[in-house]
Structure 1
Amino acid sequence: MPGHLTQFVQRWLNPATLSWWVLWAPSPPLLTVAADTSVIGWGLQSSQGHQQQGAWSERDQSAHINIRECRVVIIAMKEFKPSPGAAICFQMDNQVALHIINKQGTARSEALLWQLEEIFRWDYQHRLPLSAQFVLEVESQGANAISRFKTASAEWSLCQSVFSSLTLRWGTPEIDLFINKDTIQLLQ
């Protein structure tokens, strides 16, 4: 075991510590985050309607998929900034990442241990109860598509020809509800 990790296990060497055990039951999640990674990037979709995506650096692209799956958990915790004590459930299609989050460790890879240390240090500092749930890839299509930089956004618009025929029939609207620069309908 790397020397810097021994501080985390010292208290468990004391036999009295084991007599203080309490049955642990995870809090119901206040935030659910569907997370997925690909070779080129990562995608997150929260139960509060937020989406986030990013591209991996060259170093991250060459990292093992289990390491990238753990990195996306760290990214999610930092990006979504849940309030202290808010339980988070990650929905993922990676069994290794799911297992190490739910078991709070048990990785054999030193590189993976570094990721776990960062996850649980952030978790401990911000008092965020974490859990993970397995979802099939097809059930997490939003995060899956976002991680591959495919459109899975909540942003959408009508085809311009459909919009034109609607304005001919009912008149030109005064307010454009498609306010994104990529989805705008009313040219001003």
Structure 2
Amino acid sequence: MATGMAVIPPARLHMRCIQPWFSSVYRLNRDSLDKSLSLPTKSRNSLDRWKNPANACKGIPFFQAPPSSLLTTDASLIGWGTHLNSFAAQSKWPLSKISLHIHLLELRAVRNTYAHFLPLITGSHIKILMDNIACMYYINHQGEARSLSLCMEAMKLCNWCISHNVTLSVAYLPGTQNMIVDKRSHTFPHNYKWEMHPLVLHNLFIQWVTSSTDLFATYQNKKCPRYYSRAGVGQHSLGDALLLPWDKDLLYSFPPFPLPLKVWLKIKRDSAHIILIAPHGAKTGLVPLPDAARNVYLQKWSRIQIWCTSHQISPVSGTLPHVLEYTLTLKKSRLSLSSLRVHLAAITAFHQTVERYSVLSHPTTKRFVKRITNLFPQPRLTTPSWDLNLVLKGLTRPPFKPMATCSLAH
């Protein structure tokens, strides 16, 4: 089993079940090599995987695919925080977990992070950046025999990744460079719970239609039988509303005050039917983008609207081939690949989803961008090749003077 660790990906992981027992009954400097050992039932069951030749023949690729996303995590004795692309999450530890060792909390934070971002990372290679060297070692080595609790937690994480087709790698990031998630693991808002007065909401449901799903709630203040919660925390929560599709029946939403624009854009992308409670003028002044990025997106979007109008196409619900046709016209006008990506990002912010994908993350769009890159490669400045004979020939010309003829006085 030890010799297979280099060529069989889960070999090290499936050897960890035997290591704690073996370390407790055998010492190299104490016991003889002829000592007989009897495997307990639990350790014996862990060997069943090795009886299947197909598992032993699984190899590893010569070239590992690069990570598709970078994810940062951090944990404290209060809670945990994480950050993935433009998404972030945090949560406090329950009282039963506060007394655990910080290393164990760091590993739990990674597992909670993966469970939270599951719709975004399934089938991907994710690289985690964290400021705990011990946890980095335990994850990269799929456990370790020195600490049984840390080994078991690392094994749970690795088995979870295998079951969800997630490739995991961890690198060290100093805490001074990990300030975003470090703050999220230590600082928690106290005013994130809000609700509509039950009598007011009851009158709204009577006037319109009763919804069965509350998008932004907790288990204590939910107004519908089913509910989504912040970071998917809470008993019977369906998950984080902003990470999942809104293609169900009529939904009810009373989002936090910083989120109305995000909710509005997601309604347009998912073509959702929703009862939205938001303050007057919430679409202005609360944009979750910097002013510069917002202005760029609006500028690109106005250009897209002009093109769609001339072709009698809806800019919000146009088909994906129409979007790619517009992108191709931009490329023919000699726009760079980075500019095309900005246009696609602007379309994604306003366009409805296509087959549950955003425009930019759709597999067809990815293949299209890759094909464009191959058809219009960026010119590269090549360095002239080094010609040693040419250099030596140049050095032998005047004012070259051999060392043997030089005077030692100089």
TM-score of the superposed pair, with normalisation by structure 2: 0.34
Equivalent runs, 1:139-154 vs 2, <5 Å? 139-149=177-187
Partner residue in 1 for 2:78: 40
Give the number of aligned pairs.
Answer: 159
CA separation of 1:26 and 1:64: change in aligned 2, threshold 3 A: farther
Question: Against the structure 1 CA distance between its residues 177 and 107, is the aligned structure 2 distance closer, same or farther, given a 3 Å change threshold?
Answer: farther
Q: 1:97 — aligned with what? A: 135
Rounded Cα–Cα distance in structure 1 between residues aligned with 2:140 and 2:180: 23
Q: Equivalents in 2 of 1:174, 1:60: separation in Å?
A: 39
More strand by share: 1
Choose the corresponding residue for 2:86, options 35, 49, 52.
49
Within 5 Å, which residues of 2 pair with 1:89-168?
A: 89-149=127-187
1:65 matched to 2:173: no
Task: Name which of structure 1's ranges 114-123 and 16-25 shifts more when overlaid on structure 2.
Answer: 16-25
Distance across 2 between alignment mates of 1:8 and 1:95:
29
TM superposition shift of 1:13: 8.6
Aligned-pair identity (%) = 25
Q: Deviations over 1:111-148 (max 9, x none)?
A: 22231222012101101000001000011100000100
Counterpart of 1:168? none
Question: What is aligned with 1:177?
Answer: 285
Mean Cα deviation higher: 16-25 or 59-68: 16-25
Counterpart Cα distance in 1 of 2:162 and 2:283: 47
Task: Measure, in 1, the Cα distance between the counterparts of 2:131 and 2:96.
Answer: 22
Look up the equivalent residue of 2:86 and give its one-letter code: G
SS of 1:60's equivalent?
Answer: coil
Aligned residues of 2:111 and 2:157 also touching (Cα < 8 A) = yes
Aligned-partner SS, 2:91 = strand
Change (3 A) 1:107 1:74: farther
> SS at 1:61's partner residue?
coil
Q: Which has the larger radius of gyration?
A: 2
| SS across alignment from 2:73 | strand
Taking structure 1 as reference, are residues 150 and 141 closer, same or farther at Cα in structure 2, changes over 3 Å only? farther
Query: What residue is the counterpart of 1:27 in the other structure?
Result: 65
In the alignment, residue 87 of structure 2 is paired with which amino acid? H
In the alignment, the residues of structure 2 paired with residue 65 and residue 24 of structure 1 have an alpha-carbon distance, to the nearest angstrom, of: 36
Answer yes or no: is the 8 Å Cα contact 1:100–1:107 preserved in 2: no
Residues 26 and 131 in structure 1, CA contact (< 8 A), matched pair in contact too: no
Residues 81-125 of structure 1, C-alpha deviations (whole Å, 9 max, x = no match): 134320111100001111111122224322222312220121011
User: How big is the alpha-carbon RMSD for the aligned residues of Structure 1 and Structure 2?
Assistant: 3.2
CA separation of 1:13/1:65 partners in 2, compared to 1, >3 Å: closer, same or farther?
A: farther
Question: How far apart in 2 are the matches of 1:105 and 1:53?
Answer: 25
Q: Residues 27 and 129 of structure 1 are in contact (CA less than 8 Å); yes or no, is this contact kept in structure 2? A: no
Aligned-partner SS, 1:113 = helix
Structure 1 counterpart of 2:143, one-letter code: G
Amino acid at match of 1:176: T
Contact 2:143 2:152 in 1 (8 A): no
Task: Give 2:149's aligned amino acid.
Answer: A
Distance 1:174 1:62 in 2: 42
> 2: distance between equivalents of 1:67 and 1:30?
26
Q: Give the SS at the match of 1:58.
A: coil
SS at match of 1:104: coil
| Amino acid aligned to 1:177 | G
Give the secondary structure class of the aligned counterpart of 1:122: helix
The structure-2 alpha-carbon separation of the partners of 1:75 and 1:175, relative to structure 1 and needing over 3 Å to count, comes to closer
State the distance in 2 between where 1:55 and 1:129 align.
27
| Structure-2 change in CA distance of 1:119 and 1:25 (3 Å) | farther
CA distance in 2, matches of 1:26, 1:6: 32
